[in-house]
Amino acid sequence: MSKKTACPLDCFDACEIIYDGKIKASKEHPYTQGYLCPHLNHYEENNFITQARYKGENISIERALEILKEKLESTDKIKTLQYRGHGNFGLMQDSMNHFFASYGATLTDGTLCDGAGEAGILEGRGANRLLNPTEIAKSDVVVLWGRNIETTSSHLMPFLKNKEIIVVDPYETSMVHKAVQHVKLKPHSDIYFAMMLYRFVMIENMFDQEHLDEFASEYEEFYDMTQTIRIRAVLEKIDLSLGDIGEFLENIRGKKVSIIVGVGAQKYRNGDEVLRAIDAFAMLMGFFHKEGCGVGYLASSRQGIESPFIEKAKRVSVVDTKFSAYDLVFVQGANPLNQMPDTNRVEKELDKVKELIYFGLFENETSAKADLVIPALNFLYKNDVRVSYGNDALLDMPAQKSSEDGISEYKLAHYLCTAFDIELQSEESYLNHFRSFGEKRKGYTAVKSKKTLPYEGEFETDDGEFLFLDEVDFDMELENVLFLLTSKSKRSLNSQFKRETNVYVHPSLGFIEGQSLEISSVNGSVILEVAHDSALREDCILIYSGTAGVNRLSSSKKSYVGNSAAYQENRVKVKIC
Ligand SMILES: Nc1nc2c(c(=O)[nH]1)N[C@H]1C(S)=C(S)[C@@H](COP(=O)(O)OP(=O)(O)OC[C@H]3O[C@@H](n4cnc5c(=O)[nH]c(N)nc54)[C@H](O)[C@@H]3O)O[C@H]1N2
Ligand SMILES: Nc1nc2c(c(=O)[nH]1)N[C@H]1C(S)=C(S)[C@@H](COP(=O)(O)OP(=O)(O)OC[C@H]3O[C@@H](n4cnc5c(=O)[nH]c(N)nc54)[C@H](O)[C@@H]3O)O[C@H]1N2
Ligand code: SF4
Ligand SMILES: [Mo]
């Protein structure tokens, strides 16, 4: 048995693991480079669910499967919903989608994560291709734009050695201390900043005319749009100075530049426009077609991988799911009662569901409410293959040991497909199917079609040209407001592992550490204990993603484009209680 497997978590890095009774980092894999993050270093110390239960009573796994089958039989198919999250990033997770889709149930679409930004990228470039770490390593300057790499993609750090770093973030991330510039802009003001960069690049003639004529002939129309911005008034509104713009352009002049964008910059209803404005600036600078340059985001991880599973099904959005329209809801790899926006709404909706079924690894808000809890086996006990949205690796994840305390997705899908007479191939044939998209490269296996220079030749839009944004929504509330940041925490991965419990505020706001603070928005409120963080702007509070109750504050209104959640759309108020 191969001792090699991979971290299954929803993370850019997709680390390779050597398992010898203990989880260890692979030293050979060029992206893993011999170390893992705390989530995996302490993975086996977690309290996994090892016991199935129904309505509070412990039952055997066999009985849990029978109950699941009975409940499916007694429920109308159109009243059955599979709600998927990304607790595990393995491709075999989809074997359960195959069952539910073939069976005639409703599945989910849309995303809680990166959909708004991705929609913007798709509009402009036609495809959301990867900017691989090996390309980023060729840059002189790396702009971290709403991405906190030391926390969320620490394996990118070695690729940034000796580069000039610029951070564009309302928060003073740890990378700021290594940076030549920190643009500490107001949240939600990135569109203005990007458009102003565009305008000044035009004024200063920092662009390559021929390149634009070939790939983005409408660049002057976009320039006209950037000219509708009143510079002084807007700079004041977003709390930047002309000096910030000038310094930024000086820092990148004549350099190879990669812009690495995170989900932070697009957790808004108009998140697509943020990415389109950043892309427009990058286009003007010619970054898409020069070596060591580009804009990297959360790329489509499955680029170049065909699904062997039945996918066609009726689907409803994962953002504002109307659970009450279903009698049976099967939650897989997700914790909607913590991670979906507008928890108050989600709670009310789930109250009306007759059979809430939770298939996961850990106890959480959703398992606590579930009628039937089915323990999943963790990645060490099952076979899988994974890819990543942050690099080109494809990793085999063979089982390292066995256990009867839970069930794998494939085994559960197999049980259900057999029970309902649905075709399912052997596990090995699916694994081989996924493996077939890989090719050996130096020290690792990569997805064949993930190329190093993604937009070489032309863009993937209808006419091969970059498509500029032609209308911008400047209707954001930016003045005299308190912004809510809901960033990712070092200690947790979304709501898995050690979750944060505090609300973080700037010390100058006058709140005392340990004090209870009621934070409220138009959607709801939550009471949390104050902790100080001087890395924040004074007009921002920070409640990390995964904190209990954080999403009582967020809205389930979807992004205008991209069927995505917009966690930071609501402004908040605070009150001592
Ligand atoms: N440790 C850890 N790692 C993770 C995760 C985790 O929960 N914990 N989650 C994984 C997942 S699912 C994802 S999607 C990725 C996300 O990875 P990232 O995109 O890096 O995650 P975030 O922390 O959401 O946001 C990054 C930064 O955006 C900044 N930000 C917030 N609002 C704005 C804004 O309006 N403009 C700008 N310019 N910046 C802003 C925040 O201050 C933060 O520093 O991380 C993955 N990796
Ligand atoms: N306020 C706010 N909310 C957010 C975000 C934010 O930035 N701010 N970020 C959003 C983002 S980017 C994302 S990606 C989503 C994530 O939202 P979810 O995907 O719901 O993430 P988790 O809370 O980690 O829930 C994953 C669950 O999957 C289960 N699980 C883990 N491994 C397995 C497995 O192998 N099999 C099965 N069956 N189950 C497993 C675990 O029990 C865990 O509780 O949250 C979103 N929510
Ligand atoms: S950095 Fe990401 S992929 Fe690597 S071990 Fe941690 S969570 Fe897993
Ligand atoms: Mo995510």
Full residue range of the structural domain in which residue 541 is found: 482-576
Segment 11-23 shows an average pLDDT of 98
Residue 264 sits in the same domain as residue 341: no
Which pLDDT score is estimated for 451? 83
Q: What are phi and psi for residue 315, nearest 5 degrees? A: -130, 145
Computed over every residue of the chain, the mean pLDDT equals 97
**What's the CA-to-centroid distance between 263 and ligand 1, angstroms?**
5
- Ligand 1: does its nearest atom lie under 6 Å from the Cβ of 117? no
Last residue of one domain, picked from the residues 391, 425, 447: 447
Residue 406 sits in the same domain as residue 357: yes
Which atom in ligand 1 lies closest to the alpha carbon of residue 298?
14
Residue 568 pLDDT greater than 80, yes or no: yes
Query: Would you say how long the chain is, in residues?
Result: 577
Residue 131 sits in the same domain as residue 106: no
Each residue's pLDDT tens digit, 246-275: 999 999 999 999 999 999 999 999 999 999
Each residue's pLDDT tens digit, 142-152: 999 999 999 99
Mutate to test the pocket of ligand 1, among 41, 281, 488, 571 (most ligand atoms within 8 A of CB): 488
Each residue's pLDDT tens digit, 390-447: 999 999 999 999 999 999 999 999 999 999 999 999 999 999 999 999 999 999 999 9
Which atom in ligand 2 lies closest to the alpha carbon of residue 263?
12
Residue 168 sits in the same domain as residue 194: yes
Each residue's pLDDT tens digit, 300-340: 999 999 999 999 999 999 999 999 999 999 999 999 999 99
Q: Residue 453's pLDDT band (boundaries 50, 70, 90)?
A: confident
Residue 41 sits in the same domain as residue 131: no
CA-based nearest residue to 329, from 110, 79, 95, 102: 79
Residue 266 sits in the same domain as residue 289: yes
Residue with CA at minimum distance from ligand 1 atom 35 = 187
Residue 157 sits in the same domain as residue 84: no
Which atom in ligand 3 lies closest to the alpha carbon of residue 7?
8
Residue with CA at minimum distance from ligand 2 atom 22 = 495
Which atom in ligand 3 lies closest to the alpha carbon of residue 17?
5
Which pLDDT score is estimated for 473? 84
Which atom in ligand 2 lies closest to the alpha carbon of residue 10?
14
Each residue's pLDDT tens digit, 359-379: 999 999 999 999 999 999 999
pTM of the model: 0.98
Q: What are phi and psi for residue 419, nearest 5 degrees? A: -65, -35
**What's the CA-to-centroid distance between 341 and ligand 2, angstroms?**
12
**What's the CA-to-centroid distance between 532 and ligand 4, angstroms?**
26
Q: Which residue has the tokens 């990390």?
A: 544
Residue 516 belongs to a domain: yes
**What's the CA-to-centroid distance between 148 and ligand 1, angstroms?**
6
Which pLDDT score is estimated for 352? 98
Cβ distance 173 to 167 under 8 Å?
yes
- Ligand 1: does its nearest atom lie under 6 Å from the Cβ of 145? yes
Q: Is 294 helix (H, G, I), strand (E, B) or coil?
A: strand
Each residue's pLDDT tens digit, 97-125: 999 999 999 999 999 999 999 999 999 99
Ligand nearest to the CA of 17: 3
Residues with CB under 6 A from ligand 2: 10, 85-88, 112-113, 263, 332-335, 338-339, 359-362, 364, 376, 378, 486, 493-496, 545, 550-551, 554, 567
Segment 233-244 shows an average pLDDT of 96
Ligand nearest to the CA of 492: 1
DSSP bridge partners of 48: none
Which pLDDT score is estimated for 410? 98
Residue 183 belongs to a domain: yes
Last residue of one domain, picked from the residues 239, 272, 296: 296
Residue 454 pLDDT greater than 90, yes or no: no
Residue 245 sits in the same domain as residue 313: no
Which pLDDT score is estimated for 1? 63
* CATH number for the domain harbouring residue 214: 3.40.228.10
Count the neighbouring beta carbons within 10 Å of the beta carbon of residue 475: 7
Number of structural domains in the chain: 3
Q: Which residue has the tokens 């689907």?
A: 315
Residue 350 sits in the same domain as residue 384: yes
Residue 37 sits in the same domain as residue 171: no
Ligand nearest to the CA of 487: 1
DSSP string, 102-153: HHT-EEEESBSSSHHHHHHHHHHHSS-----HHHHTT-SEEEEES--HHHH-
Residue with CA at minimum distance from ligand 2 atom 15 = 112
* CATH number for the domain harbouring residue 529: 2.40.40.20
Cβ distance 423 to 31 under 8 Å?
no
Which atom in ligand 2 lies closest to the alpha carbon of residue 378?
35
CA distances from 574 to 343, 460, 518, 534 (A): 19, 46, 6, 18
Kindly state the percentage of the chain with pLDDT values over 70: 100
Segment 227-237 shows an average pLDDT of 95
- Ligand 1: does its nearest atom lie under 6 Å from the Cβ of 181? no
Last residue of one domain, picked from the residues 234, 269, 296: 296
**What's the CA-to-centroid distance between 485 and ligand 1, angstroms?**
10
Residues with CB under 6 A from ligand 3: 7, 9, 11, 13-15, 36-37, 39-40, 154-155
CA distances from 414 to 82, 158, 308, 421, 432 (A): 16, 42, 15, 10, 17
Residue with CA at minimum distance from ligand 2 atom 23 = 495
Residue 459 belongs to a domain: no
Q: Which residue has the tokens 């820092």?
A: 251
Each residue's pLDDT tens digit, 530-566: 999 999 999 999 999 999 999 999 999 999 999 999 9
Residue 336 sits in the same domain as residue 437: yes
Which atom in ligand 1 lies closest to the alpha carbon of residue 546?
7
Each residue's pLDDT tens digit, 185-213: 999 999 999 999 999 999 999 998 989 99
Paired tokens of 491: 């200690």
Count the neighbouring beta carbons within 10 Å of the beta carbon of residue 405: 14
Which atom in ligand 3 lies closest to the alpha carbon of residue 25?
5
Residue 254 sits in the same domain as residue 335: no
What is the CA 210 to chain-centroid distance, rounded? 36
CA-based nearest residue to 99, from 429, 430, 419: 419
Which pLDDT score is estimated for 158? 97
Residue 368 belongs to a domain: yes
* CATH number for the domain harbouring residue 401: 3.40.50.740
Pairing status of strand 372-375 against strand 355-360 = parallel
Residue 460 belongs to a domain: no
Separation CA 55–CA 27 (nearest Å): 46
